[in-house]
């Protein structure tokens, strides 16, 4: 997975998680987990702040593939951070 421009501009990085559909987003010491999950024949993306477990995603959004869900999750994170 490539680091989106908005994340790279803020010196953010992506690290693979322990499962194939899980990534960690690291931004200035803060860590977020982005995870694609099956949802009714499609995929959803859970976006969670690792330090406190707070969810930042819209659980109603679904995507046609796991890759699209991960990209959508990153967009949801960007929006939640106000970028």
Closest CA to 73 of 26, 82, 59: 59
Mean pLDDT of the chain: 94
Mean pLDDT of 40-59: 94
pTM above 0.75, yes or no: yes
Q: Does residue 33 contact residue 22 with C-beta atoms inside 8 Å?
A: yes
Residues 6+ away with beta carbon under 8 Å from 20: none
Containing H/E element for 14?
strand 13-16
- What is the rounded CA–CA span in Å between residue 39 and residue 41? 6
Q: Band the pLDDT of 8: cuts 50, 70, 90.
A: very high
Q: Band the pLDDT of 28: cuts 50, 70, 90.
A: confident
Q: For the chain, what are the domain ranges?
A: 5-80
pLDDT > 70 fraction of the chain, expressed in percent and rounded: 100
The answer on pLDDT for 44 being more than 90 is yes
Q: Are strands 42-49 and 30-39 parallel, antiparallel or unpaired?
A: antiparallel
């Amino acid at each position: 997975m490539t680091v989106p421009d908005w994340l790279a501009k803020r010196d953010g990085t992506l690290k693979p998680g322990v499962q194939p559909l899980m990534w960690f987003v690291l931004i200035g010491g803060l860590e977020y987990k982005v995870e694609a999950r099956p949802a009714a024949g499609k995929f959803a993306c859970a976006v969670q702040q690792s330090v406190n477990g707070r969810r930042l995603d819209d659980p109603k959004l679904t995507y046609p593939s796991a890759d699209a869900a991960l990209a959508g999750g990153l967009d949801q994170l960007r929006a939640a951070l106000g970028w």
